[in-house]
Structure 1
């Protein structure tokens, strides 16, 4: 597990086919940054429905996915093409679980939900089907809350402090959310107390609908 790129950026106005929109996706690599309970210093989000807040303070995206996307779309994707704060290797959605705790530099974070991507990724990379393909493949990345604030450098070590005993992977939650909305899968996810509140509410509402 290692950091490939550490990234921050404040929301700004961008253009997409003569459409103007505000977004925080256009982040830039940095050497070091202070991570607080609400995210990195000098970092921000525009769409608070999908990003930001203490439960989504840090956004991760998987380095290994870059090569897959570049091959599929025959393009070069610079870091961080997905607006992530930390581009990380060795931490795929299949092997990272909700509730897992990691130390990164001075900070300690806990994985709390898979990312629910939005159309901004397609606009930012000028690939119309990007959002659709991310949802189909479940290569979404994930969010973390901050348990201990501190400085993180782009060469900081990542140390697993605690693996959650229920072992509900990020990929399992994303697959359930988008593709396998089954009662038993949702119940398994809701057993994880550390799940982000917003995501818990979404799953709880869907479970209620299944029971009606």
Structure 2
């Protein structure tokens, strides 16, 4: 399957209910026909938890279309697009094939992949599946973020073109697997060589690397 947009989605934070509790989230995004992408994300889009989302390094959130069928089969339920709060549901661009620093043209905009998504409990709450967050982390099917190099219009029929593959070829999957499952010095050092890595992720990995070295 070639690279393509399956759904273009935006939404602002709002209050939702879960098990008689309220929480503020922007995960409940809705499909749109077209949107203007700025350095800080899509117009009329927003995030609630700035620890995990948002900022120029995490302006656009992607999730992989092919994962939907896998999750639907595992949990025996339908998952409407977008169930993960992503701006772009994309096919042909999974975490193993997309690398940190890769540059893509999408419609009139140009974006650069910056980090894998660090998911939070909102995924479980929004989809009403208690183990969803746990399974997303275990499988590294987290999705990923990008910064905007060139602002522009994106439609749900815009073409996705790979403009430049990063020479180090450190995949999103490798970074997420390292972060959650395999915190080894050599792996962290490889990731930190990618200067295009999002600053938030760089800081987290640098702290862990220093802690590992201190324990030697």
TM over 0.5: yes
SS in 1 for 2:211: helix
Match of 1:76 in 2: 78
Match of 2:150 in 1: 148
- In structure 2, distance between residues paired with 1:202 and 1:49: 12
TM-score, with length taken from structure 1: 1.00
Match of 2:89 in 1: 87
Q: List 4+ stretches of structure 1 deviating above 4 A.
A: none
- In structure 2, distance between residues paired with 1:33 and 1:10: 14
- Any stretches of 5+ residues in structure 1 without a counterpart? none
TM-score, with length taken from structure 2: 0.98
Q: CA deviation at 1:117?
A: 0.1
Match of 1:171 in 2: 173
Superimposed CA distance per residue, residues 28-59 of structure 1 (whole angstroms, 9 cap, x where no aligned partner): 00000000000000000000000011010000
Q: State the number of aligned residues.
A: 212
Is 1:124 paired with 2:126? yes
Q: CA deviation at 1:115?
A: 0.1
- In structure 1, distance between residues paired with 2:54 and 2:184: 28
- Any stretches of 5+ residues in structure 2 without a counterpart? none
Is 1:12 paired with 2:22? no
Match of 1:106 in 2: 108
**Residue from 186, 189, 192 that aligns with 1:187:** 189
CA RMSD of superposed structures (Å): 0.3
Is 1:204 paired with 2:203? no
- In structure 1, distance between residues paired with 2:136 and 2:102: 23
SS in 2 for 1:20: strand
- In structure 1, distance between residues paired with 2:205 and 2:26: 27
SS in 2 for 1:210: helix
- In structure 2, distance between residues paired with 1:110 and 1:10: 23
